[in-house]
Structure 1
Amino acid sequence: MSAWDDVRDLIDKCDADGVAALVVTLDDAARREVAKQLPGHLKHIRLYLDSWRGAGDHAEALRAAGTGTIAAAASVASWLTRRGLVGADERVDDTRRLLDLVGTRPPAWQADLAARLAGKLRGRDPSYELTASLIHRTGIEPPTDDGFIVNWVSAALGHQRMADVLAADPLLDTLLPRIFHAQGVGAALQWEGRPTGDTWLGGLHALATDGRVDRAMLLDGCVGRFLRGGTALELRFFARLHQALEPTRAEVAPRARDYLRLLPSAPGTVAELALGHLRELPAVSPGDFAEAVEALMYRPEKKLVRAGLSWLDRSVRLTPEYAEAATAALVSAFAHESSDVQERAVRLAVKHAAHLDPAPLRDAAAALPADLRARLGVSEKPGEEEPVEGERPVLLVAPALPRVEFPPPITTAAELGAEFTRLAGDSFHHPGWLNTERLMAGLVELTHRDREAVRAALATVPVRTWERSEDDPLAWLWAAMRAVASPSTSSPAPRLPARYRISVPHLLILRRMAELVTAARADALPPVLLATPTSADGHVDPAELLARLERLEAADMNPASADLQQALLRIPRRVDADVVSRAARLTTPAGRLVARWLSGEGLADPVVTVRYGYAEGASHRWFDEGQPPEYHYDPRAASFVAASPVGLDLVDPLCRDPETSIHRLGGYMNWWAGVMPSHREVVAAHLLPFFNWEWSERSPRLPILQDLARADGPLGSAFAAMLVFHLNNEDPAERTAALDLLLALAAAGDLPAADLGDQLGHLVKNGMVTLSRVIPSLTEAERAGAGAQVWQAVTAALPRVLPADGERPPSGLADLIALGVRTAPPGDTTPIPGLAAVAARGGSSRMVREALRLTRLLPARREPLPARRDPTRPEEM
């Protein structure tokens, strides 16, 4: 047997001691043979074990074999730190065995191995003990690599007498200063909580007290580590070490500038530590004070802002020359998003008015709510003018909706063939509803104009098989194209889905497509389609609609039923009088029907309501019928539409309650806004049940709402509920896009603000939306200039979410009330049921304080406080 066979047998038996004893007896040739075979055998073992744990129990034997046979020190270092031989199995503890093997090599080789191992250590590496022992043995300069420092720190963890262990360590003086620089030390020591005898905190504190370690070095190291930055977890150990050292004023004073540099952006715990030491100094220069308090006013942590204001209060009271810096800080505090901070800043401004400059404070008061401006003696915002009666306030920020390009018509048979060829060749290409309308119109008009040219152009279009053909509009369009291209060989037409399986807007789309297929198969395509839109929002220009009717009359043809009804639904809400007069001259039944709709005798605005309930088995119960058992809790929203029938078989179902069954198809919902572009709230009513089935921290359907925003007609509860869902989306980008949509609607005067607030209250109350996730968007809307609309939303939402006695308030309620404080117009008398009861609870909670502030802003309609609320009485949902 070869030397490799003997070594391999011992490795496979996991006999590391046997391997070590054997390899020292081998000659150079045998060692080279073993070293050559080791990498392949490691791969074989890992494949055999099929384990993420690497070589498992074989690791120690493999490490011994490599250390005893591989020639170059650099290659041994790579082998010992190789993935699969370290870090995966905590039982690897072979330092003594490997030291004996390394001891057979020359001293220079051992020193080279020690230096190379130190540079390769990562995390808590089992090769650290070997490396440290070799450093002691060879006497080389201790390395300062980050990996070695982290392992040095980690190796000492858990010793009962940490101070004695560190004091006896010959590497202490060289390596200790490096712990403030090496990446990973903070993570290794982040869980040390108190300076006890078995912790680094306790050991370093004891050594600094005894003079074994320089206190100044430790303090400089901590402050320097803070200045280099990092997360709160990465800096936690150093903050606790700094705290344990308890620096004196004499030690803080020369480092004051460094502490000031920490205030703007250091993690909260570090900034709080720095501020605490600065406040203990007997004096800070006015310039340093101004820099410090200004930085604190921009911190997101209210605790730090309040601490800064307390420091300002004390400093101005004792040292009036700080007044200029205090004025600048209060100006910043007036614009803070927290009403608590604003209120405290106003209190300080009034308290120290004799020392402060009133002009910048008066200008900054524009950011304050009305009650705080009044306490400053500023009744109106500077420069604020009375609004003109009936004039809509202009938003400061009004983002435009994403633009939709209206496609040009198809004018030649060759262009039509190219479009269908593209549709056939790209299985991922979807033309969208506007392009589909364009293809339908082109197929109809060009075929009527020159059938043979169209057939020649379509003859080369590849054959494509459509899946889900019965409910896919493109499958019907394809069937119509094939019927025109080769009537004798066209494939069977799709069949309309069963009525119980399809939503009403989708049915209208498919019925219109089915008419096209039927006409193409009968070689009876009309000269024009009535319902082809003339604008990107789906409307048909009334004058163009009349011209199309006149073309049909001239061809002695009647419009298809679904095409006619779709055209009626696409008539704009405003029609010129001369078009109405021209339509009155039409004589066909279809012409007279269109004339009535153009004159305003068509579909009146239906009433849409939204109701919330829960599933109970196969049935549905509403919350006003009693709360569900907890284990049945399954919130659902459903919309209801009420309208007078117009006698049209496809229009009337659109104006009845949408079906909510999950068996119905909600496909092609991004086409629905174009079905009823003048009645967008009705479309929203049909969309809501499908949105709600995903209810919806994730639903990426905002483009559908943007299409509704481009359309016309009133918006109400159904649209508002879907907008709230998107403001609650877990994706920040989706929330930002939803906010832009809200602002665009507000700028146009179309935002249903009261409905938005009412639905927000419902959805929060029913556990379908997180209030604290929606509040930031409403706050941004207020800052952008939509304060009046935000106030309407707040006053509608609050009665739904204000807690009854003993009820836990939703997270973010205090912020919602504070938003009302900031947006309430002077003299408003809007009643908010339940607000006075919350304000009268007493206590120091922020919710109660904000409720009290809002009640003071609405003095004309204060709600009387009930003597006692009966907790058994059911609350209105």
Structure 2
Amino acid sequence: MTAWDDVRDLIGKCDADGVTALVLTLDADGRREIARQLPGHLKEIRRYLDSWRGTGEHAEALRAAGAGTIATATSVASWLTRRGLVGADSTVDDTHRLLRLVRMRPPTWQADLAQRLAGRLRGRDPSYELTAALIRETGIEVPTDDGFVVGWVSRRTAGRPLADVLADDPLLDALLPRIFEAQGVGEALNREGIYPWPSVLHTLATNGRADRSMMLDGCLRCFLRGGTALELRFFVRLHEALDPTVNEIEPHARDYLRLLPSSTGTVAELALNHLRRLDPPEPEGFGEAATALMFRQEKKLVRAGLSWIDQVVRHAPGHAEKVSEALVMIFSHETHDLRERAVRLAVKHAAGMSADTLRDAAGALPPDLRAQLATVVSGIEVKAQAPQASRQGAALTPGRRELPSPIGTAAELAASVTLFARDTEHWDDWIAIERMMAGLVELAHRDRDAVQKALAPVMNQEFPWWVAGDPGIHPVGWLLTACRNLVSPGSRERWTKPLLPLPSHVHPLHRFVLRRAAEVFTALQNGDLFPLLLATPTSVSGHINPAELIARLERLEASGAEPFPADLDQALLRIPRSVEPETVARAERLSSPAGRLVARWMAGAGRVTPQVAIRHRYLDGASLRWSDDGVPPVYSRSDPQIVPFVSAPATGLEGIDALFHVPSFRYAECMTWWLGIMPSEPEAAAAYLLAFSMVGRRLAAPESASLGELAGATEPLGPVAATLLLARLNSADPAQRASLLGTLATLAAAGHLPGHDLGEQLGLLVTYDLVTLSRITSALVEITNAGFGAQVWPIVTAALPHLFPTGRERGVHGLAALIALGADTAPPGAGTEIPGLAAVVARGGSSRMVREATRLTRLLRE
């Protein structure tokens, strides 16, 4: 047997000591043979051991074989720090063994290995102890690489007290300053139970073994450099363990002020606590620091900042004017006790503050706090319910966008088709699809050759399957295939007949959209082109202006053409419910069958109102029960679900009747289109979307559904649309919430916000644990701060009776914030009776829920 055979057998037995003893006896040729075979053998071991375990128990034997046989220091350092050779849990402890092997090499080789290992260490690497031992034995300059520093703070102490280990450590003076700079040291030192480093370093500083001022400066540098709370937690602990004196803090006061705006909460709190020990800073810097604190999201910091303002202004009244702007920022804060505290400070120090600043900001306060401020600042209207301004001063994004201009040229049409052909991301933009479809029909009727010429370069490009082959069952795929056939009518890939899926296979609204696309496809295929489409909306809500629809019908009658059937059905659904009498009279002069149908529809004859309702289904054990009033017994909330129902009498129009009699189905797309299909029946469209909104035990509107069209609703929204709005507000996606907040603001401004229904459904959904109350409340606070408190008040009054606890039960999480919102939006002296409110007040105690309920009661009785 060769030396390699013996070593391989020992590695297989995980006998690292045997490998070490054997390698020490080998000559140069034997060591070279083993070094040559090791990489391949490592691959074999990894082949039958999973990657997470690395080389498992073979690691120490492999490390010993490499350290004793590989020729160069560079290669040995690479081998020892190789992934998979440090142990699955970094518990390899083979320093004594490796030192025996390395000591065979020349001193210069050992020094080279120490330097190269120090540069390759990563975190808690078992090669750290070997590196440190070689540094001490060779006497080389202590390396300060990040990995070596992390290894130094992560090392084992073999049962000795850390204080004794560090006091005797010759590396301390060189490496201690580096812990404030090396990457990863903070996380390593913060591991629970690693060692009591903060207290030990404080002891070493007290004994003169470590430089105290260096450590305080290092902590401050870490804070100013920034990082996550986890990365900085150790340095916060060390800073507080050192317990700096006022004389040590004062020279760095400006740096501590810089920490207040954007550092982590723990660092900002530390900085503020030490600043409060000093004399007041100069007025300008104090004003900026106070303003920064008022912008913080942490209520604890804002509260501490208000106390600091009070402390400073009491000792330096001249600083009051500089903090006026900071103080009034809290007047529109979502937490009432912070606003209350800010008003008390404003009243207390009003003599030194800017009366104009206080007066201008008073409108953001609820009436009771405004009355307190009015006692020291003249000109504040107490009784008027002024619109409240957003804390950040930013208006909500409108919920509706502008309707794009129609496509007027073949070049514009080609650009639109290219957009859809390149990326399916645009297939959810139903308004853009309507625009493309209308342009395609009109321009192909006007000048088919020009359209073919403009589309040819687009269709001849290499596009994905939705252009090149099967169009699928999405209207855009059908329209793009129609464009391809228009450009290449003789193509073998020509798709000649769009096949509508069976009614039971797709949702009726999805199938309705496909019918319209199929009509356009067939017309382009057969050359039976009409001058225009009737149903192209004139509003982003999906509505058609009745006068514009009549004008389109007049053009069709003049050309002797009848509209497409599905296009006519869609046009009828987009007619507003309220049409001016003179417009109806104009419609009655139309002579075509389609014109007479539209005239009857505008007059209300034959038009039906779908009946929409919600039932709350829930499971009680193994039985399925139904609650018609939506309030199941308390003991039966194990598995609640929202089930919407839509029904309507037959209109005699098959395409429309199919939308209100929904069979079972398996598939749905084009949800962004649904509200725009029947904008005059928003409750029915919302019901269909709501059916797709249950996600496990949570409620969230489908991401593929657009709710912006509700902002243009001309008909009253009811409980179904309200539930859908709450489902979207319950989303954790900031973009979805921001978009819907704009929709709600638009509805509120138009007086169409369904306040009572929103409140009723909110109470029920929170009771069933289908939505998170705090998310909804935060959205309502934003609507209130945008100036729509009067529209939010009905929501709160309708929701609270469902949420008040009975007996001594705890209130649902977030209830206190909703009661506070009610107090902020309640009309003074309204006298509104809110069932259950008195019982909450009667509970007594100092909880926020009781305090806010008491405040709301007082406001309602004023």
- TM-score, reference length from structure 2: 0.83
Q: How much is the aligned-residue C-alpha RMSD, in angstroms?
A: 4.8
Q: 1:349 to 1:585 in 2, by over 3 A?
A: closer
Choose the corresponding residue for 1:635, options 624, 640, 650: 640
**1:427-576 superposed matches below 5 A:** 466=470, 499=503, 502-506=506-510, 508-509=512-513, 531-533=534-536, 535=538, 537=540, 538-540=542-544, 542=546, 545-546=549-550, 562-573=566-577, 575=579
- Secondary structure at the aligned position of 2:787 is classed as coil
Give the superposition deviation at 1:89.
4.8
Could you tell me whether the CA contact under 8 Å between 1:410 and 1:439 is conserved in 2? Answer: no
Is the 2:407–2:436 contact (alpha carbons within 8 Å) kept by the matching residues of 1?
no
Q: Report the alpha carbon displacement of residue 704 of structure 1 after superposing the two structures with TM.
A: 2.1
**2:342 maps to 1:345:** yes
1:300 is aligned, of 297, 301, 304, to 297
Stretches of structure 1 lacking an aligned partner (at least 5 in a row): 389-393, 861-877
Measured in 1, the distance between the counterparts of 2:623 and 2:483 equals 40
Q: Secondary structure at the match of 2:745?
A: helix
In structure 2, give the amino acid aligned to 1:837: A
Q: C-alpha displacement at 1:689, in angstroms?
A: 1.4
CA distance in 1, matches of 2:830, 2:501: 54
Write the deviation string for residues 23-71 of structure 1: whole angstroms up to 9, x where unpaired. 3444445444433333233223212323322222222222222222222
Specify which of 600, 620, 640 is matched with residue 596 of structure 1. Answer: 600
Structure 1 residue corresponding to 2:808, chosen from 796, 806, 809: 806
Hey, what does 1:791 align to over in structure 2? 793
Native 8 Å contact 1:528 1:548 kept in 2: no
The correspondence of residues 782-861 of structure 1 with structure 2, limited to 5 A, is 782-859=784-861
**Residues 485 and 381 (structure 1), Cα distance of their counterparts in 2 relative to 1, 3 Å cut:** farther
Partners of 1:6 and 1:672 lie apart in 2 by: 76
State the one-letter code of the partner of 1:276.
Answer: N
The residue aligned with 2:627 is: 622
For the 8 Å contact 2:471–2:481, the answer to whether it is kept is no
1:518-537 Cα distance to aligned partner (Å, 9 max, x none): 9999x896856874425364
Tell me the equivalent position of 1:868: none
Name the SS of the counterpart of 2:707 in structure 1: helix
Match of 1:142 in 2: 142
**Partner residue, 1:109:** 109
1:54 partnered with 2:59: no
> In 2, are the aligned partners of 1:424 and 1:464 still within 8 Å (CA)?
no
What is the letter of the counterpart of residue 375 of structure 1? Q
- Over residues 482-524 of structure 1, what are the superposed CA-to-partner deviations in whole Å (9 max), with x where a residue is unaligned? 99979xx999967765655554434544566778899999x89
Aligned residue number for residue 99 of structure 1: 99
In the TM superposition, what whole-angstrom CA distance separates every residue of 1:695-735 from its partner, at most 9, and x where no partner exists? 76665536521244456533333222222222221222222
Contact in 2 for aligned 1:162/1:203 (Cα 8 Å): yes
Tell me: CA distance 1:682–1:395, structure 2 relative to 1, closer, same or farther (3 Å): farther
Shift of 1:152: 1.4
1:367 has 2:364 as partner: yes
SS in 1 for 2:680: coil
The one-letter code of the counterpart of 2:101 is L
User: How many corresponding residue pairs?
Assistant: 845
**1:150 Cα offset (Å):** 1.7
Q: Aligned equivalents of 2:722 and 2:72: distance in 1?
A: 72
Q: 1:120 to 1:404 in 2, by over 3 A?
A: farther
Identity rate, percent: 56
Q: What is the CA–CA distance in structure 2 between the aligned matches of 1:190 and 1:140, rounded to whole Å?
A: 30
Structure 1 residue 132, shift from structure 2 partner: 0.9
Do 2:441 and 2:533's aligned partners in 1 also have CA atoms closer than 8 Å?
Answer: no
Match of 1:734 among 727, 733, 736: 736
What is the match of residue 229 of structure 2? 232
1:441·1:528 contact (CA, 8 Å) conserved in 2? no
Preserved CA contact (<8 Å) 1:232 1:267 = yes
Other structure's SS at 2:706 match: helix
> SS of 1:714's equivalent?
coil
Partner of 1:71: 71
For structure 2, which runs of at least 5 residues remain unmatched after alignment? 387-392
Corresponding residue for residue 722 of structure 2:
720
Q: Give the secondary-structure state (helix, strand or coil) at the position aligned to 2:693.
A: helix
Shift of 1:405: 3.7
Alignment match of 1:755 (pick from 751, 754, 757) = 757
Structure 1 residues 381 and 785: CA distance shift in structure 2, 3 A: farther
Instruction: Supply the AA of the counterpart residue of 1:49.
Output: L
Q: 1:694 to 1:652 in 2, by over 3 A?
A: farther
Contact 1:327 1:357 in 2 (8 A): yes
> Matched residues in 1 for 2:657 and 2:178: separation?
79
Structure 2 counterpart of 1:778: 780
Aligned AA (1:780): E
Mapped partners of 1:558, 1:98: distance in 2:
93
Contact 2:534–2:568 (CA under 8 A) maintained in structure 1:
yes
Q: Distance in 1 between matches of 2:427 and 2:325?
A: 58
Specify whether residues 474 and 238 from structure 1 end up closer, same or farther in structure 2 by C-alpha distance, changes over 3 A only. closer
Deviation at 1:374, TM superposition (A): 0.6
The equivalent residue for 1:266 is 263
Q: Supply the AA of the counterpart residue of 1:568.
A: L
The 5 Å alignment of 1:670-681 reads 670-681=672-683
- 8 A Cα contact 2:444 2:529, kept in partner: no
- TM-score, normalising length: structure 1: 0.82
1:76 shift after superposition: 1.6
Q: Structure 2 vs 1, CA of residues 290 and 577 (structure 1 numbering), >3 Å: closer, same or farther?
A: closer
Q: CA deviation at 1:134?
A: 0.6
Q: Distance in 2 between matches of 1:432 and 1:353?
A: 55
Per-residue deviation, 1:156: 4.4
State yes or no: 1:133 paired with 2:133.
yes
The separation in 1 between residues aligned to 2:454 and 2:323, in whole angstroms, is 79
